[in-house]
Amino acid sequence: MNGKTWRNLKEEKADEIKTFLLKAGGKEEARKNPSEVWRIRLPDALFTYYQNRTLYIAHGPSEKNLLPIYQKMEEIAGPRYSSPDREMLFGLDETGKGEIIGPVILAGVSFPKELFPTIDKIVGLSDTKRPHKFPYWENIFKQLSSLKVKGFAYFVEEISPDKLRKENLNRLLDKGYKKIINFFLKGMGEEKRLKEYRIVLDDYGIGKNFRRFLQCLQEKGAEVIVVKSADSEYLEVKTAAILAKRFRERIIKKIKENPKYQIAGLTIGSGNLSDKETKEWLRKWKEVYKNFPYFVKQSFKIRI
DNA sequence: GTTAGAACGTAATGTTAGCG
DNA sequence: CGCTAACATTACGTTCTAAC
């Protein structure tokens, strides 16, 4: 079973979608959980609407028959993301802040607004709020990469655990994002083109200097948006989040598969401290080798 | 297999009581 | 009066559980 999630779907819109699904041959089934509002089954697909306004779609291996239904649903509910109001969209996001293993990865993506519907199809319904195996991220990444010829571009920055030990995380994020933006500015040639851009990033606690830099971009004509949980509102930020995730997962995978970094049958696990395998690996590694390898964040103040 | 929600981790930053 | 330690809040995460 494959799943897709549609978040922040308003009650009225959900009602309209329900009516439409029933008309399209769906059969309403009994709620199986107090958090559910309704569930409707179509051939090879189950639509469940939850009280927190999430519509979850569980479907079989082929979703070809569902495409017209998705299309109709979008017509009813409107776009899930803030519509493109500029020619070019530019989103930034990071991943790996809360993990003890591996770097923090920053990503920036830019694409022309014409690609918005295409990218929406690729990442719009993808489920990024829970863990997935590497091929899940890789598959999305490959689809996005194929859009390079049509103007999709990305840049990735890495903050190593070593850097994190010496400097404030948020200031490193400031620097990393600035670097990414400058790289793009160079790529676009003329700053005049800033007028075509909408730049969106998450509010992680931006520093004064970087804020000034962003202000400067705004004065030069760019639309700059800094908001909390930007990835659920802006497609360009969600796309950047996926890219960051893919690059981080690739690094984690390489470490995990390296026999040099396995001990007593243990791998590094997910890299998060709440992962029992990660914690056990850290304990064992310290016991045997005393010092940790380069990819362990010494900045974390925990005793193992 | 899914959800919601809480528990459990980190870092950074905002707030405030109280000490010298 | 100013500084600082302690507490609270807000981000980022994963995992567990009850309910299907």
Q: What is the pLDDT of residues A80-102, one digit of tens each?
A: 677 888 999 999 988 888 788 88
Task: Measure, in angstroms, how far nucleotide B5 C1' is from residue A183 CA.
Answer: 42
Q: How many CB atoms lie within 10 A of CB A48?
A: 20
Model confidence at A242: pLDDT above 70: yes
DSSP string covering A28-65? EE---STTEEEEEEETTEEEEEETTS-EEEEE-S--GG
| Closest CA-bearing residue to C1' of C16 | A274
What's the confidence (pLDDT) of residue A110? 92
Q: Is the pLDDT of residue A302 over 80?
A: no
| Strand pairing class (A223-227; A197-202) | parallel
Report d(CA A63, CA A126) in Å as an integer. 14
Q: Which is more confidently placed, A114 or A258?
A: A114
CA of A208 to C1' of C1 (A): 28
CA distance A170 to A299: 13
Averaged pLDDT for residues A27-49 = 70
Distance A231 CA to B2 C1' (A): 22
Query: How many CB atoms neighbour CB A246 within 10 A?
Result: 22
What confidence score (pLDDT) does residue A67 get?
66
- Where does the pLDDT of residue A129 fall: very low under 50, low under 70, confident under 90, or very high at 90 and above? low
Cβ-contact A238, A214 below 8 angstroms: no
CB-CB contact of A202 with A229 (8 Å): yes
3-state SS, residue A291: coil
- CB count within 10 Å of CB A253 equals 14
Residue A250: per-residue pLDDT: 85
* Range among A26-30, A52-56, A176-180, A269-273 rated most confident: A176-180
Strand, coil or helix: what is A136?
helix
- Residue A105: the pLDDT is 87
CA-to-C1' span, A20 to C4 (A): 62
Residue A72 scores a pLDDT above 50: yes
Alpha-carbon distances of A60 from A1, A39, A65, A66, A139, rounded to whole Å: 5, 16, 11, 10, 18
| Rama region for A193: left / alpha / beta (φ>0; ψ in -120 to 50; rest) | alpha
For residues A266 and A109, which has the higher predicted lDDT (pLDDT)? Answer: A109
Q: What is the pLDDT of residue A115?
A: 92
Rounded (to 5) percent helix, strand, coil in chain A? 45, 20, 35
Under a CB-based contact definition with an 8 Å cutoff, are residues A57 and A73 in contact? Answer: no
Residue A149 pLDDT: 93
Query: CA A274 – C1' B6 distance (Å)?
Result: 14
Measured distance CA(A278)–CA(A268) in Å, rounded? 5
CA dist A140 and A126 (Å) reads 9
Q: What average pLDDT does range A170-182 have in this prediction?
A: 89
Closest C-alpha among A259, A264, A257, A268 to residue A292: A268
Q: Are A110 and A90 in contact (CB under 8 A)?
A: yes
Question: Which residues bind near strand C, taking a CB cut-off of 7 Å?
Answer: A 32-34, 95, 97-99, 129-131, 202-204, 228-229, 241, 269-270, 272-276
What are the phi and psi torsion angles at A120 (to 5°)?
-55, -40
* Domains of chain A from N-terminus onward: 2-77 (3.30.310.10), 88-252 (3.30.420.10)
pLDDT at res. A1: 42
C chain positions with any atom within 7 Å of a protein CB: 10-16, 19-20
By mean pLDDT, which of A32-36, A47-51, A159-163, A251-255 is the weakest?
A: A32-36
Strands A104-112 and A88-95: antiparallel
A130 nearest nucleotide via C1' and CA: C14
Distance CA A92, CA A175 (A): 13
A94 labelled binding-site residue: yes
pLDDT band at A62 (very low <50, low <70, confident <90, very high): low
